[in-house]
Chains A and B, each alone.
Chain A
Amino acid sequence: MHRLILAATLTMLLLVTPPQVRANELLVCPECPLRDVQQAIATAPVGATIRVRGGVYAGPVVVDRPLTLYGENWPAIDGGGQGTVLHVAAPDVRVEGFIVRGSGTNHDREDTGILVTAPRAQIVGNQVLDSLFGIQLLNAPDGLVKGNLVAGKPLPEPQRGDGIKLWYSPRAQILNNHVRDSRDVIVWYSDQTLLQGNVVERGRYGLHFMYSSDSLVEQNVLRDNSVGIYLMYGARQIVRNNVFFHNRGPSGYGLAIKETDGVVTEANLILRNRVGLYIDNSPISQGVINHITGNWIAYNDVGLLISPATRSNRILENTLLENLEQAAPQGGGTLDHLTWADSGRGNFWSDYAGYDADRNGIGDLPYQNRALSSVLTDRSPLLAFFRFSLVASALDLAARAVPLFQPAPRFTDPAPLIQPTPLPELPWSVSPPSRTDAFLSLALLPAAALPFLFALRRSPRLALAEAAKAPRPPAPVVLASVAPSAATAVCTVTDAAVVQVYGLTKRFGSRLVLDHVSFSVRPGEAVALWGPNGVGKTTILRCLLGRTAYSGTVTVFGHSPLQDGPAVRAHVGYVPQQLPLLDLTVGELLTTVARLRGEPLERAWERLGVFGLQHTWHQPVRTLSGGMQQRLALALATIGDPPLLLLDEPTANLDTTAREELMAALQQLREAGRTIIFASHRPDDVWRLATRVLRLEAGRVVAESRAAALPVRHDIHQSLILELDADALQPATHLLTAHGFAVYREDQRLRVLVPPQRKAEPFFLLARLGIQVRDFQLEVTDGW
């Protein structure tokens, strides 16, 4: 008996004692004896690990001894809009797993999210948000900055700081970070830097080197910046296997090289920039050669733009594909002093008009760049306005017909390649999956595409005259929780239903995935299948499309998907979680789908405009951003105006901005009376879009709300509705999201979901950036 009591006591003690902290470890959490990070640092011995649990901790924090700061469940250090938030002032410090946010905005002090001023720091897997400068290594050699998300302060671009900045910090490794909406990722006076696997978007200069040498820049994606990479005043830089996409700002260069010696630029994909590759007076030293090899330079306004002072560049075995101007000297002159071929091999030019009679892969005539209109444009860039005009064509024709008018060639490639060079190894294909995985992926790709393609058939319009619009959200939630055994009784099957499901059951082997699911959907409803991953949401959609066998009764527009699949799919537009990454361009895909569904191309083109994608017409689908791919999937799904849309986790892979755009598009479709069934595990999407919610757990419908107005989280019961000036809506959304609020745009207002104890915080955050709140309301919901 005594032993039993002893065992019970020990068990109780184990249960009530907080988790044991290992030797040389400190634990900080809002309920712990240690609640302050700075205090923990002050008491920690050298080399200790401080584990910080989820919660908000006040900055600034200074780490003044070698330590590991390890965040569990995303603890946030908030600078409160003042100064630098986290300062690593001692060597050998590791900071991992934190949200660092709310720096000041002073450029003189360079207010920073994470500032490092000591050697060998490791900044790994943090989110640095709403900070003027994101991560700064200042006189901090041998640093590691890996796997961080850095989102700049929502300020106009000229007022932003740099996302990542190195200053006299040699041998740094900047790996796999995602930097967006900041100014530059800049490397000043820092040699031997490794920049690998980073994504930098919507900044000024994606990567910017100043007075730095001997760096390796590989497998990065630079998109939607003013300039992708700018190399200035350095030497011996290697730039390879990067993607430069749509960098079209005021300078608009994909890669720019200025007064830099010994650059090796190889196997990059340089796509749709204003200027693909700009070379200005590089190399600058005598006896040095720059190498431009194996790159794909495609669909840019100007492929290569080279200043007249530039010498000693070997431009070999590149593919120059469909650039409006393939290569041009800046301000006129020629480029004949550069090396365009070696050992009988030059470059591939998509506008080469020669032939290869001896079939050796090399054109028998040299490629000469000598269009008269281009020569004139070199001298007066404004004449580019007349490019492709009748006048320009007539000029070029006249020059060819009357050699007297023909200008001297701007350069000659004596050995043009007949076939494009191999597509460079790109960041997303650098680490291929194992053979088995690759095989599976290949097998699954068509399978994934099948429902998508089937759903694209032309559909006769369904008469929806009797369709009554579902009620709109503002009413409080009326929720019917039901026991799983009674789930089939939840939903009423009505005659007017578009979709009727009764007793739907699905097994994969011995595993029961759907267990007597029943529901119906009326015209004009937006019904959410809501639940965590793995509860059977996607399987329900696949059953509705007739893409998998099941037991039970399912009808869609009166047809059984299993027995009459084509008739069902003719009425359905399907948006998969991710669009299959096809090699087609957007235009080719859209044209194909429009033909399949019998929609005039003009209408399909207009549809592309509705989703803001007309500018992507020539762009390969696989190069679109996640948000654009989802908008494209939605545009394709609406071709032929199918009355029912099925969406599978439409916002799963999107960032805040892309999600906002997609949700706005979906809301418009719902307002237009389209019936929507969508699977989602995100309560905020459900709250926003659904008019009715089916809550799924373990393959069963366990609850249903008739008028959806779900709160985003269990602990959120209030919506703060803010009226702001139009130009403040975007930065305010960005800022509040960075501070952990769920924010939704409703016309010219923002709806912010606030926990009871944080109602005033949005006002303080907005005031910090000078954003004025014109009016506000606080709405209370009953909660889920």
Chain B
Amino acid sequence: MTRRQLLVVLLVTIPLAACQRKRELSPPQIRYGRDTCAECGMILSDPRFAAAATTADGETVLFDDIGCLLAYRQKHSPSWAAIWIHDLDTQAWLQAENAWYLVSPSIRSPMGYGIAAFAGQDAAQRRQAELGGDLLPWNELLARPPARPRQH
């Protein structure tokens, strides 16, 4: 192999390798009972309400309540590449922007914000009929995040 050929090979492979190394964004593994919320400091125990967000370079923050995620976002204006929440019924991870949100005082979430997420609108509406409250898509939830429940 001549030097020129070697140079060409390197020029082609190095960017390819760099592309491969780019991290695939995926929901984190939460250690329930051990990990703590980045906003309120409480221990994450309930997967139904746990949420997470990741920056483009892979740094992840965890929240015990979707309300904590919204409060943190308002305070710090972070540049997140992905946000995940859990489906209330199945406890499966969902992309935050694809989910429907029921905001109801009857939902007893860890910090009392009363926000639950659902993969589909039908399931969310069924719960809305049972628990009451407002059904919102992600953008509307971001536009008017619920305040902390009660101040003394």
Contact = CB atoms under 8 A, between A and B. Distances in A.
Interface of A: 107, 110, 156-158, 167, 183, 188-189, 204-205, 210-211, 213, 226, 230, 232-236, 249-251, 258, 261, 280
B33 interface: yes
A236 B152 CA distance: 9
B41 A157 contact: no
B68 to A, nearest CB: 12
Interface in B37-64: 40-48
A188 B112 CA distance: 9
Contacts of A236: 152
Interface stretch (B14-22, B94-102, B143-151): B143-151
Main secondary structure of the interface of B (DSSP, over half): loop
B34 interface: yes
A251 B115 CA distance: 25
Contacts of B45: 157-158, 183, 204
A234 B32 contact: no
Contact of A234 (B43, B112, B152): B152
B112 A211 contact: yes
Nearest to A138: B108
A211 B43 contact: no
B32 A158 contact: yes
Contacts, number: 54
Contacts of B152: 211, 213, 233-236, 261
A158 B112 contact: no
A158 B108 contact: no
A625 B148 CA distance: 39
B43 A107 contact: no
A249 B43 contact: yes
A234 to B, nearest CB: 6
Contacts of A158: 32-33, 44-47
Nearest to A167: B108
B150 A211 contact: yes
Nearest to A189: B150
Contacts of B44: 158
Contacts of A183: 45
B40 A157 contact: no
B36 interface: yes
A258 B40 contact: yes
Interface in B83-102: none
10 contacts: A157-B45, A158-B44, A204-B33, A211-B152, A213-B152, A230-B42, A233-B152, A251-B41, A251-B42, A280-B41
Given A167-B108, A189-B112, A250-B43, 12 more contacts: A107-B48, A157-B33, A157-B45, A158-B32, A158-B45, A204-B33, A210-B112, A211-B112, A236-B152, A250-B36, A251-B43, A258-B41
A258 B37 CA distance: 14
Q: Which of A156, A158, A210, A213 has the most CB of B within 10 A?
A: A158
B151 A233 contact: yes
Contacts of B42: 230, 251
Interface of B: 32-36, 40-48, 108, 111-112, 148-152
A782 B80 CA distance: 71
Contacts of B149: 189, 211
Nearest to A232: B40
A233 B148 contact: yes
**9 nearest A-B pairs in the assembled complex, by CB-CB distance:** A158-B32, A235-B152, A158-B33, A158-B45, A211-B150, A213-B152, A157-B33, A250-B34, A250-B43
Contacts of B150: 189, 211, 233
Contacts of A204: 33, 43, 45
Nearest to B50: A158
Contact of A250 (B33, B46, B48, B112): B33
Contacts of A205: 43
A110 B48 CA distance: 13
A157 B35 CA distance: 13
Nearest to B111: A210
Nearest to B30: A158
Contacts of A211: 112, 149-152
Nearest to A253: B41
B85 to A, nearest CB: 17
A110 B40 CA distance: 23
Contacts of B40: 232, 258
Contacts of B47: 158
Given A211-B152, A250-B36, A226 B48 contact: no
A231 to B, nearest CB: 11
Contacts of B46: 107, 158
Count chain A CB atoms within 10 A of each CB in B36, B41, B47 and give the residue with the most: B41
